[in-house]
Structure 1
Amino acid sequence: MAESNIPVLIVGAGPTGLTAAMELSRMGVDVRIVDRAAQPAPESRALAVQARTLELLGARGVGDTMLALGNRAHTAALYARGRKLAPIELHRMPSDVNFILMLAQSETERLLAEQLAEQGVKVERGIEVTSIAVDDPARVQVTLRTGEGTEETVTAAYVIAADGPHSTLRKSLGMDFPGRTLPLNYVLADLYIEADLPHDQVSIFLGSPGFVAVFPMGGGRFRLMATDPQHWTPERREPAIEDVQRLYDATVHIPARLHTMNWSSRFRINSRHMRTLRAGRVFFGGDAAHVHSPAGGQGMNLGIQDMVNLSWKLAMVLDGRAKPELLDTFSSERLPAIRTVVRFTEIGTRIFNSTNPIVHALRIRVAPRMLARDRVQDRAASMFGQLVADYRADALAENAGGIDGLRPGDRVPDIDPGTLDLNALTLFVGDGADDVADLAHGWAGVVAIRAGVSAAPGTWRLVRPDGYLAAAGRAGDGPVLAGWLHRWFVRSRA
């Protein structure tokens, strides 16, 4: 049996695993990424790319191409009884990318894989994990098998499990995946619709037999999701075009001809997440760690953001710039964000799915009143864009100061991505805070200094590679910065 060593082995080459490989290799970490499937999946599956994901990928050289290929939805609108109830105004997102980008997951994966290949890493396909051993506290041993039956033992310093909802690694390590399966059946289809439907809007139609949601992909192509409480679509086969047309006609008041269906599926929703995202030297992300309703197009984005959070920490620990304790903050930071999305999507799904006539009547009356409030609109838009998550409550945000209402763990909204060092912490120092800049010079490799940029006079902000605030203060607050750095990082002896 062949043997090899690698700092990081990544299992799973969906958006989550590809993001981890892209980030780590960009920061100089040797990685291998393997996937059981012989070829990438051709179906679009996940569709929505949210604002926070676009901000992160834009800073990493992938976002502009995604924007050029995708279709932008600026609103999400609710309809019932033949009329529009209310819009959700996505342009209220506090971001330059204040919309939802509709882009097939297959395209997102292709772009991430191409960027990864430019960095010298190729996805190894047709390879499955047959066993994992975590007995040694200093390493992980994983046995891989190719489609031809050849086996290899890989010894890795760390392993990232991004191998989907039926994760072999999660099961092999006996990790819990608590949650529930929601009761209703759903139909999903990727097809063309000839109708007077907006091409820059997510349209959700509520009816007594359930709901139909259509997501514009551009060029007359749509993703359609519908409930099927009457079991109109036969369970013995994938829904046919006539089945989907029937579901559409039963709920949507806008006449349409559905045709040229690329694929369809039937599914039930699982709403689950792990209790911890770490098992020793194995980290979990994406669908391997959390699954939930596709309502709001949140899932793929969570997985990508999981890996952006983990990768900078892992890279800095591997090259000795950070203490191993930093890795504990991956799970403690990401789990609250995951719980919020799982809860939000489950509640939304239960409300929209109800076939109870009283609930249906309440939806029609309450939705317009709620969405007429600016505060509700602002919050709804930010939640869709995944801009509301913060890490304020985590240990990494303790004793780290703050400035002008911005606290450690907050997303920093006004940083020019071109000024952010994606391989280290970036210290933005305003005029008059020279004492803090002088202190930071002793942390070469850990802190990159940007003087006179993105910081008001007499203030400073330390920003993480993922765009969240690490620490902040004013001139004279150097001890705050020094104390925080000493807790989590390793000062160079050079």
Structure 2
Amino acid sequence: MTKADVDIPVVIVGGGPVGLFLAICLIKKGIKCRVLEKRQEPVPDSRSLGIHPVSLELFDEVGITEPFLTSGLKIRKGLALTEDKKLGEISFEYCPKPHNYILACPQFTTEKILRNELQKLDEDALITGATVKHFDEHEQFVEITYSIDQQTNQQITANYIIGCDGKNSAVRQQASIHYSGKRYNDTYIMGDFEDTTDFGADAAVFLPNGGLIECFPLPNGMRRWVVKTNQYISEPSQLKLATLVQERLGYDLSEIKSTMLSSFGVQHFMAETFAKGRVLLAGDAAHVVSPIGGQGMNLGWLDCQNLAKRLHTLTDDKGELNYDPATLKKYSLRQKKIVKKVGRRAEINMALGRKPGIPFLRNLFVKGILQSPLRNKVAEIFTMRGLNDWWI
């Protein structure tokens, strides 16, 4: 079989936010693809919700921004507080326009929008209920075996297979790509509650002596609460989260409507390479960073932009997709550098949220930063600026 004989140039495994956006980017560049996704429907809960300005600019490039702006909520300011006073604030007003804000949009809405936009481009691109069994890599193509709703196996051939199938990626594991990193001791509980605060569209980050508490506004009058815990809570409940908030802030969430509760730990893992032969990785399949700061999903979208551009350069005059290890290596090297930079920023965010040895000094440091010209630099870091402005 030659490259001209393959069924489709690219098969993407995983149809979450990263896999769907990658498909859109590829099709916009004239590269046909198929997305194999296990789930029939988008995720049922909010999960990842922060869409950063760098991602909105990527959406601008492919013309899909408007439905996100219609569905999301713009966060233009973040407040830093202790249990009894305000330390300062970060305004995104002076960040580059037009997207000088962070957009809060629940993941189920994000996936729904991306599915709709992909269907407009190619109604056959997304194959749901598809479980990938295995793949075989050959010199000029990859053969993927999958089933629909666990029924009869089917085969599809492609020039490339791209794993966007999460941190436990079956694609990465079958390709024998090493995934290394570390787990932190930091643990959290979070939940979405009806918003009964006075913060409006502002985000709030509390730094009480007992540990970090964050709360972010969501569309439809809801608010996400994230609370630092002393150990992992295996059975999260509204009572446990409300008790921690009550103890640290004196704010009562016990009788407020809640729609989602979960616990999570923090880890930072990265694949040794994002490109091995005709196997490519993007999103959590390639890297996992701390969710504090909401950068993981956005980092995956940066992978998509870079990878789509690289593959576009491999398309010949006949529209066929060639193979060039050097080009794919550049994709891997560039994104790994970005991941390391995001990881360092995430570690700083986590460190500020831990129980301080001397709370007064920590608070004085935060107050000093937020009342100095450095606050604009902090706003740039929080909105993921300075990651995607160079090219290898």
TM norm structure 1: 0.73
Please, which of 14, 17, 24 is the counterpart of residue 15 of structure 1? 17
Question: What is the match of residue 385 of structure 1?
Answer: 383
Work out the CA distance in 2 between the residues paired with 1:223 and 1:126: 30
Amino acid in structure 1 at the alignment position of 2:291: P
Work out the CA distance in 2 between the residues paired with 1:348 and 1:125: 37
Question: What is the match of residue 343 of structure 1?
Answer: 344
Q: Is the 8 A contact 1:192 1:258 kept in 2?
A: no
| Secondary structure, aligned partner of 1:259 | coil
Q: How far 1:251 sits from its partner (Å)?
A: 2.1
> Are residue 301 (structure 1) and residue 289 (structure 2) matched?
no
> Are residue 186 (structure 1) and residue 188 (structure 2) matched?
yes
> Are residue 158 (structure 1) and residue 160 (structure 2) matched?
yes
Q: Deviations over 1:372-428 (max 9, x none)?
A: 221x2222222222221245462xxxxxxxxxxxxxxxxxxxxxxxxxxxxxxxxxx
Question: What is the match of residue 370 of structure 2?
Answer: 371
Q: How far 1:293 sits from its partner (Å)?
A: 1.2
| Secondary structure, aligned partner of 2:381 | helix
Q: Is the 8 A contact 2:143 2:158 kept in 1?
A: yes
Question: What is the match of residue 271 of structure 1?
Answer: 268
Work out the CA distance in 2 between the residues paired with 1:41 and 1:385: 25
Q: How far 1:277 sits from its partner (Å)?
A: 1.1
Question: What is the match of residue 415 of structure 1?
Answer: none
Amino acid in structure 1 at the alignment position of 2:312: A
> RMSD between aligned alpha carbons?
2.1
Question: What is the match of residue 282 of structure 2?
Answer: 285
Work out the CA distance in 2 between the residues paired with 1:98 and 1:270: 29
Q: Is the 8 A contact 1:6 1:30 kept in 2?
A: yes
Amino acid in structure 2 at the alignment position of 1:127: A
List gaps (5 residues or longer) in structure 2: none
Question: What is the match of residue 44 of structure 2?
Answer: 42
Work out the CA distance in 2 between the residues paired with 1:291 and 1:385: 18
Give matches, 1:417-456, under 5 Å.
Answer: none
Q: Is the 8 A contact 1:189 1:265 kept in 2?
A: yes
Of structures 1 and 2, the one with the larger relative CO (CA 8 A, separation 6+) is 2
Amino acid in structure 1 at the alignment position of 2:355: T
Q: Deviations over 1:261-302 (max 9, x none)?
A: 111111111111223211111111111111111121111111
Q: Is the 8 A contact 2:302 2:388 kept in 1?
A: no
List gaps (5 residues or longer) in structure 1: 395-494
Q: Is the 8 A contact 1:132 1:142 kept in 2?
A: yes
| Secondary structure, aligned partner of 1:166 | coil
Question: What is the match of residue 136 of structure 2?
Answer: 133
Question: What is the match of residue 446 of structure 1?
Answer: none
| Secondary structure, aligned partner of 2:144 | strand
Work out the CA distance in 1 between the residues paired with 2:388 and 2:171: 29
Question: What is the match of residue 177 of structure 2?
Answer: 175
| Secondary structure, aligned partner of 2:257 | strand
Work out the CA distance in 2 between the residues paired with 1:378 and 1:258: 38
Q: Is the 8 A contact 1:199 1:218 kept in 2?
A: no
Q: Is the 8 A contact 1:195 1:254 kept in 2?
A: no
Question: What is the match of residue 443 of structure 1?
Answer: none
User: Structure 1 stretches (4+) deviating beyond 4 angstroms?
Assistant: 253-258, 320-323
Work out the CA distance in 1 between the residues paired with 2:259 and 2:331: 38
Q: How far 1:55 sits from its partner (Å)?
A: 1.2
Work out the CA distance in 2 between the residues paired with 1:192 and 1:146: 39
> Are residue 208 (structure 1) and residue 215 (structure 2) matched?
no
